[in-house]
Structure 1
Amino acid sequence: MVGTAGAQQTFFIDTVAGPSWPYPDYPNSVAVASDGTIYLADRDSHTVLRVETDGSLSVFAGTGFAGFSGDGDAAAAAQLNTPTGVAVTADDGTVYIADRANNRIRKVDVATRIITTVA
């Protein structure tokens, strides 16, 4: 019998899940571009997330705070309010966002990442 009285064990906890944000909170819609890039309309985080073909995740549109702002500016600096739909055109990859609580359709030019309201 081996005695372990007084022995101290050390344990380590390591996070492997990745960063705390961005992450999908309540993804409502998914669209896939012709190059394989995935777009997620995330209604509860008020963002559209972009998943690259290598698996990396970034905020494509929205600040994470509900509101309406940003036309003519960077999509990631714009405010969305409960985006529930996303679509990507086959020809140039333009991304359309159904900005539900704002009752708007927003468009993001993928080359410039500028957002505008189209309806």
Structure 2
Amino acid sequence: LAHDLAFHRAVVELAANEALQQCWLVLGVEVSTAFAVYWTYFDQIDMVDFHLPIVEAIRAGDVARAGAEARKHVRRTEQVVRRRTRGSGRRIMSAAIGKTALDSAGAPEHDRN
């Protein structure tokens, strides 16, 4: 869990996006709580696989792809949580991460959902 939180914190810091950093500061406790609750739903190898596309995009310096992969990551995580919690995951994950954090990630307009 500590490594997962550290990864997400590092991505937020590397993004150098003031709005995203503010969201992380405001929602940090909620995100940490959500991670602690839902972390048990993921196999640890799956956790690496979930994050690898983001890491690869960052390493390549591809900002647009990193943003797209981050949004995919959130959607995939939400899907797992929803399956495991019989649908309540969307409300909880949405409350934990906030739509604003996703929208302020600097994604191109056509990538936003």
More strand by share: 1
Answer yes or no: same fold by TM over 0.5. Answer: no
Q: Which has the larger radius of gyration?
A: 1
Q: TM-score range by the shorter chain?
A: under 0.3
More helix by share: 2
Output the TM-score relative to the length of structure 2: 0.26
Output the TM-score relative to the length of structure 1: 0.25
